[in-house]
Structure 1
Amino acid sequence: MDKSWIFKDKDSLEYEVGVESFLIFAEENSKDPKNIPCPCGRCVNFRKYNVKVIQGHLYKKGFSFGYTDWIWHGETSSKSVRSSTFLPKEQNAQSETVDVCEAAYNLDDHDSYDFNRFVADAERPLYKGSECTKLESMLKLYNWKARFGISDSAFTELLTSIGSFLPQDHVLLVNAYEAKKTLSDLGLEYIKFHACPNNYILYRGINLNASECPKYRLSRWKVAKDGKLRVNSPAKVMWYFPIIPRFKRMFKSPDTAEQLIWHSKQQSNDGQMRHSADSPSWRNIDYRWPSFASDPINLQLALGADGINPFNNGLSNRYSCWSIVLVACLIYL
């Protein structure tokens, strides 16, 4: 089916004919014609309406950017067809993936709506004719900022300078604040906790308002050269990256969701160990918590530690870092 009309002007006859053909297709393949996902640029397949409402949305807002495989309206994804040659065939694999994604969406109605609106906007080309998207450019530049410890003010100046070299219709972010907000919308937010310089406590819970470590009697705040405390300037900070929002984001992609439930839908039983689901530990969890194991979107994680220059073995790194993922716990989504 020719879908080039999706990218045409919303006032053109070709676009109107295309919208009508889509509505007919969607209504014919819908289980409930009164509750069809709306693919407009605002609803991005999250809100459900009847065809009359969807028609008005598509004429006003246009199609969600990049929605050319109508997987939410009964069409098989071309990406899924290609990937199926590498996996055991299963008749309802695509519909099962869609069901899993819908279950993840329903976990947080408002959050999912905002996220999908953000993605539709972020996937816009950086400027007309550019192969780089707004989101891709932001991630590359912010990664550079983090690698070299660039200050927010310097980063804002850089964005302003780059923007002056681009065409006038560019959508590059204009300052560091917008870049941080974009990362937060992606579900990559973080939480800062003040910590004891000797790593004994975090200043949270019963220690939220404490000013010194109860064991080492070290101040919570930095001490200036003149010996005075720099209140509100913590001596040490721990950065916490919430893991549940990241898991939810993973299920928002049909391709990623298909991989996350592979152990439930595609796992072979030939006695060979090819996946963590073939291990005794995984099967032990399935045996002990059958209700948890029955839902494929519940994730099982493993305990792993990847040391990055932990003992500073003569290398030039300024710091050492242990990247640790705790697990073997049960995570209900």
Structure 2
Amino acid sequence: MILCPCKKCGNIYWHFPEVVYEHLIVDGFIRGYKKWIFHGECTSNGTSSTINPTYPDTDYHQHVRQDDMEDMLRDAFNMHSHGEQSFLPDFIISEDCNIGENVFCETGTSAPNEEPNEEAANFYNLLNEMNEELYEGSKYSKLFFCIRLFHLKCLGGWTGNSFTMLLEFLREMFPFAKIPQSCQDMKRLIKDLGFGYDKIHSCLNDCMLYWGDQKNQQSCHVCGKSRWMNSNTEDVNTDEGGAQLRKKPVKVLRYFPLKPRLQRLFMSSKTAESMRWHNDKRTDDGLLRHPADSLAWKSFDSKFPSFASDPRNVRLELAADGFNPFKIMSTSYSTWPVVLVPYNLPPWICMKQSSSILSMIIPGEKGPGNDIDIYLQPLI
């Protein structure tokens, strides 16, 4: 959908192109909209965020930033506009707003009281962060700053402590900016985007996971080893000075839930169409260009015709290998990431790093070997 530049909508309401065409025929263009900055046309300075001085709605333009956080949030939570108003700072979500129906309330108004679900609450929390400027007059939001900086942390392999020191330095140099105080604060801010993971304790000898019905067990029912690094089975220990010390498990599996990640592939307007490529746009001439051309794929389709009948069903490749996370070859330590590759995508996309889905990280210090099936239980 696009913003409608007709006289009634005024580049505020979103509609499908067919509806916009009808509005323009009936009502005509809004006066003063000569530079199509809301529809991809750049101004003389090369940006699309500076509005024509004759444009009447200057208050609206003040809130148009150069980041694309709004589109990202809409794709991430599948909350696309259907004629409702775009995200403006003048329109906030009141405490008694009916979030379940995706209603935007003007400041000071009320709506029927309804408890929002967790996903909707996360969406509107991030929406508030998106509408919060990094500093007064900034063209970027606080959310955009946090996501970009955290992305650099991941690419550069910065430790949590070094990242916190960087944030402290930035806050000291720019006290007027709304910069998180620590790495943990930034993680809490962007956690609602779905970047979190589940921690699942495992046996020292890879016998079992403390998961599901066995979540509360204190020792392995196979080898008898304790779940914790010490023999005490209390949740919290007390040292000689009387201070409480939280216990540490001997092994922790990091599991990234698969279902929401697959849902994101179809929520995003940029990837939903590509997830049907193997059925809709693949050239079927007998040549092997894609896994869908292989005999194994066709054999699977013949055995499970109900699954193959819907091209939106996801085909995944599972890959796992060990590596030394400490970059010291003299140290014997092996951590095993488990990566999934969606084969629904075109071949020039599915093998890119951005298309790989990190599903879990199996802890070391030794490889799981034949016991890897124990760790794959949450995924399978």
* TM interval, short-chain normalised: 0.5 to 0.7
Correspondence for 2:319: 304
8 Å Cα contact 1:307-1:321 kept in structure 2 = yes
Aligned 1:155-170 pairs, distance under 5 A:
155-166=163-174, 168=176, 170=177
Name the residue aligned to 1:140: 151
Q: Give the equivalent residue in structure 1 for 2:200.
A: 193
Distance 1:60 1:205, change over 3 A: closer
User: What secondary structure is seen at the aligned counterpart in 2 of 1:217?
Assistant: coil
User: Which of 251, 257, 263 is the aligned partner of 2:266?
Assistant: 251
Deviation per CA, 1:230-260, whole angstroms, max 9, x where unpaired?
7732122111111111112232322222322
Task: Give the counterpart letter for 2:19 in structure 1.
Answer: N
Larger helix proportion, structure 1 or 2? 1
Equivalent residue for 2:212, pick from 192, 205, 217: 205
Indicate the residue corresponding to 1:46 in structure 2.
Answer: 79
Assess if the C-alpha contact under 8 Å between 1:138 and 1:179 holds in 2: no
Once the two structures are superposed, the pairs formed by residues 8-23 of structure 1 within 5 Å of their partners are 19-20=9-10, 23=13
Further displaced range: 205-214 or 241-250: 205-214
Letter in 2 for 1:185: D
Q: Distance in 1 between matches of 2:118 and 2:262?
A: 17
Using structure 1 for the length normalisation, give the TM-score: 0.58
Name the CA distance, whole Å, in 1 between partners of 2:281 and 2:128. 31
How do 1:213-224 and structure 2 match up within 5 A?
213-223=220-230
CA contact (8 A) 2:132 2:141 kept: no
1:320 corresponding residue in structure 2: 334
SS at the partner of 2:229?
Answer: strand
| Residues 19 and 55 in structure 1, CA contact (< 8 A), matched pair in contact too | no
Cα 1:121/1:193, change in 2 over 3 Å: same
**CA 1:210 to 1:258, structure 2 compared with 1: closer, same or farther past 3 Å?**
same
Amino acid at match of 2:263: K
1:299 is displaced (CA, Å) by 0.3
Shift of 1:281: 2.1
The alpha carbon displacement at 1:142 in A equals: 4.4
Task: Quote the offset at 1:287 in angstroms.
Answer: 2.2
- Distance across 2 between alignment mates of 1:208 and 1:174: 34
1:190 Cα deviation (Å)?
0.8
Match of 1:302, SS? Answer: strand
* Residues 296 and 139 (structure 1), Cα distance of their counterparts in 2 relative to 1, 3 Å cut: farther
Alignment of 1:76-95 (within 5 A): none
The residue number in structure 2 matching 1:106 is: none
Letter in 2 for 1:163: R
Map of 1:227-238 to 2, 5 A cutoff?
A: 232-238=247-253
How far residue 268 of structure 1 moved from its aligned partner, in angstroms, is 0.5
8 A contact 1:126–1:134 mirrored in 2: yes
Q: Which amino acid aligns with 1:287?
A: S
Check the 8 A contact 1:138/1:173 in 2, yes or no.
Answer: no
> Is 1:241 the counterpart of 2:256 in the alignment?
yes
Residue type at the aligned position of 1:164: E
Structure 1 residues 72-111: aligned runs within 5 Å: 111=119
The letter for the 2-side match of 1:150 is: G
Q: Does the Cα contact within 8 Å between 1:194 and 1:237 map onto a contact in 2?
A: yes
CA RMSD across the alignment: 4.8
2:299 corresponding residue in structure 1: 284
TM normalised by structure 2 equals 0.52
Query: Which amino acid in structure 1 is aligned with residue 253 of structure 2?
Result: M
1:237 partner amino acid = V
The 8 Å contact of residues 304 and 325 in structure 1, kept in 2 or not, is answered as: yes
Q: Secondary structure at the residue paired with 1:304? A: strand
With over 3 angstroms needed to count, the CA separation of the structure-2 counterparts of 1:317 and 1:267, relative to structure 1, is farther
Give the corresponding residue for 1:275.
Answer: 290
1:265 aligns with 2:305: no
> 1:209 offset after TM fit, Å?
2.4
User: Is the 8 Å Cα contact of residues 192 and 239 (structure 1) preserved in structure 2?
Assistant: yes
SS at match of 1:192: strand
- CA deviation map 1:111-160 (0-9, x unaligned): 37844873795598856256993244342354279x35434xx6545423
Q: Structure 2 unaligned segments of length 5 or more: list them.
A: 24-63, 65-69, 93-116, 232-236, 239-244, 343-380
